[in-house]
Amino acid sequence: MIQRFAFEVYATVGAARTGVIRTPRGEIRTPAFMPVGTAATVKAMLPDSVRATGADILLGNTYHLMLRPGAERIARLGGLHTFMGWNGPILTDSGGFQVMSLAKLRKIAEDGVRFQSHIDGAQEFLSPERAMEIQRLLGSDIQMVLDECPAFPASEAQIEASLALSMRWARRSKAAFGEQAGRACFGIVQGGEFPHLRKRSAEALMEVGFDGYAVGGLAVGEGQSAMFEVLDATGPLLPSDRPRYLMGVGKPCDIVGAVSRGIDMFDCVLPTRSGRNGQAFTRWGTLNLRNARHADDRAPLDPECRCPACRDFSRAYLHHTVKANEIIASMLLTWHNLTYYQDLMAGLRDAIVAGSLENFARSCTQNWGTTGQLLSD
């Protein structure tokens, strides 16, 4: 069994690359999409079902798990992998984004952030050291540094001040991570839409030295073109022998564009959240199963899809279960959406190996619509 964390690139096309991240708990084929299991569960899915979609790694979250059921409790129960029944790799976000987006009355200082829980209003404190301690207790394979995430939009001065604090926290996070055999610690590049701040952040993180580098502070409302501009400026700054992770992204068209710009790892709630709300991703765009046009449709969502929703059921049945608020609707559509995302990643990996990424991306874009955005009925 491999006892260390390692990354190897197999093939490249321009900035895009495909390879493998090796961990003691298994290999992660890149580019990789990580289903979001924020609170120790991928909503509406069993662990074996998630694995069947093709996922190699899941994402969990420090903020949510520290509040409920608590990191120490999970550690006593055998760690996060045992607790949630997932034996593959797990990446845990440090909670910085959730403190910004969910927590109440947050107060940021040099030592950390004090806030009220969005669940019960209890007073909580999260520091770089505590964030890394929680992730160690959870037993996650890839642990993220704690960063400060300013809300969008923010001025350059606000982004610059936030960046400086995040870089100080990154150094403290890496020191608190210490040496953990087989586990990895990723830094997070911040800097908003400002290339010179992104450069400053990347240089500061590389000076510390991390096992991988994430690009944070995107997918918060800046738009796709701005996101791609940041990736164009940031990607070439990062070490080629370390994984690159774009946090919180995203739509299939975002993923294809980001892969072409050298990103290796992604996560997003979109496929699971959409599944719970009656939306299905297909090769031709999104389908809203609430629409009456599906009520008598005997066709599958996608005749070429291998998931149970497409293999065993009609659009008419899915429409019925969505309209009736049956739990199976969430289960089937989530399974389908995650399968769609994993098949997209597999297609990207194959296209890079074959040297045909441009053709693959063009084909996807033509199917989705000339704007590159997913269509909707």
Active site residues: 93, 267
Burial of 165 (0-12, 13-18, 19+ CB in 10 A): middle
Report the amino acid identity of residue 74.
I
Location of structure tokens 């599906």: 294
Residue 322 near residue 329, CB atoms below 8 Å = yes
DSSP for residue 239: -
* DSSP annotation string for 111-128: TEEEEE-TTT--EEEE-H
Distance CA 108, CA 172 (A): 16
Residue 23 near residue 89, CB atoms below 8 Å = yes
Residue 69 near residue 120, CB atoms below 8 Å = no
Residue 33 near residue 342, CB atoms below 8 Å = yes
* E strand or H helix at 92: strand 90-93
Location of structure tokens 């662990």: 47
Sheet holding 244-246, edge to edge: 32-34, 265-267, 244-246, 212-215, 184-189, 142-144, 90-93, 58-61
